[in-house]
């Protein structure tokens, strides 16, 4: 079994790669930071190939998806974890349109392009697991994070659409909406923004990368076969709907 993981150089993507490697899944790791990808591959026990990829560039995405399939013969799993927050802790009237577009390009368009070019291969094999990493911000909206929240809402909507479109094909498409997970991305955010988000969590803490990776491993497993178009929560009690 082979998985493509975007944003695999660090954070959520790297944690997911480590978890799937433990399950003897071949990994095609997509990111722009090839040095970090190489370092990660050296830590993994299974078969791993790296692909320098800008997920917002359709020609690169198409070429590298084909390259991954040439390397491994097929792909059964796609996990879209590449993402950026953009500027945070700012009101909507302060949002820069260029920054907003950059966030949408990575978070939404990147996930769309990856699924667009992986789906035809999954359809041939009548099997696939696609997981878009969204955010609780996409469900509730985080004040001070307009670009990020709106882009993740778009990702959730895409999972709903794709889940319905491919429901009869053996392919499931779902999203995962974590609350704050302790990652370098979160560490780089303003302390006031992180406090705003963690104060909303009944457990009063960030989630861990291990907790996220464990849930991802189930969602993309063959055992998770009757859930599609759904957004799983990983929110410490913040989301109960």
Residue 131 CA to chain centroid, in angstroms?
7
Beta pairing partners, 29? 5, 50
User: For residue 161, what pLDDT is reported?
Assistant: 98
User: In this structure, what token pair is assigned to residue 67?
Assistant: 């390259």
Residue 116 CA to residue 110 CA, distance in Å, equals 10
Q: Which CATH class is domain 2-232?
A: alpha beta
Smallest CA-to-CA distance from 49 within 66, 76, 78, 72 is with: 72
Residue 230 CA to residue 163 CA, distance in Å, equals 8
What residues are labeled active site?
A: 148
CB 25 within 8 A of CB 223: no
User: For residue 239, what pLDDT is reported?
Assistant: 78
Q: Which residues contact 132 (CB under 8 A, 6 or more apart)?
A: 80, 111, 115, 155, 156, 158, 159, 173, 174, 175, 176
Quick count: other Cβ atoms within 10 Å of Cβ 222? 9
User: For residue 238, what pLDDT is reported?
Assistant: 81
User: For residue 212, what pLDDT is reported?
Assistant: 96
Residue 215 CA to residue 210 CA, distance in Å, equals 9
Smallest CA-to-CA distance from 79 within 120, 121, 36, 131 is with: 131
Per-residue pLDDT of the chain (241 residues; tens, 9 = 90+): 999 999 999 999 999 999 999 999 999 999 999 999 999 999 998 899 999 999 999 999 999 999 999 999 999 999 999 999 999 889 999 999 999 999 999 999 999 999 999 999 999 999 999 999 999 999 999 899 999 999 999 999 999 999 999 999 999 999 999 988 887 767 877 888 788 878 888 988 888 999 999 999 999 999 999 999 999 999 888 877 7
**Strands 77-80 and 48-52: what pairing?**
unpaired
User: For residue 196, what pLDDT is reported?
Assistant: 80
User: For residue 159, what pLDDT is reported?
Assistant: 98
């Amino acid at each position: 079994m082979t998985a493509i993981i975007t944003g695999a150089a660090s954070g959520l993507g790297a944690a997911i790669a480590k978890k799937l490697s433990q399950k003897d899944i071949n990994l095609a790791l997509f990111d722009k930071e090839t040095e970090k990808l190489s370092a990660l591959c050296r830590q993994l026990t299974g078969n791993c190939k790296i692909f320098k990829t800008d997920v917002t560039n359709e020609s690169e995405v198409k070429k590298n998806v084909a390259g991954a399939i040439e390397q491994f013969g097929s792909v059964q799993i796609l996990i879209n974890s590449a993402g950026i927050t953009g500027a945070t802790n700012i009101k909507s009237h302060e949002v820069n349109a260029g920054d907003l577009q950059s966030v949408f390009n990575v978070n939404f368009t990147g996930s769309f392009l990856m699924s667009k070019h992986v789906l035809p291969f999954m359809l041939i094999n009548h099997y696939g697991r696609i997981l878009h990493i969204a955010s609780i911000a996409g469900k509730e909206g985080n004040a001070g994070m307009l670009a990020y929240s709106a882009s993740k809402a778009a990702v959730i909507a895409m999972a709903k659409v794709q889940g319905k479109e491919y429901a009869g094909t053996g392919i499931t498409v779902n999203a995962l909406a974590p609350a704050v997970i302790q990652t370098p991305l979160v560490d780089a955010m303003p302390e006031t923004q992180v406090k705003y988000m963690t104060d909303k969590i009944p457990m009063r803490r960030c989630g861990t990368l291990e907790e996220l990776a464990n849930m991802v491993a189930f969602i993309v497993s063959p055992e998770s076969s009757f859930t599609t178009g759904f957004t799983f929560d990983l929110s410490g009690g913040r989301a109960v709907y």
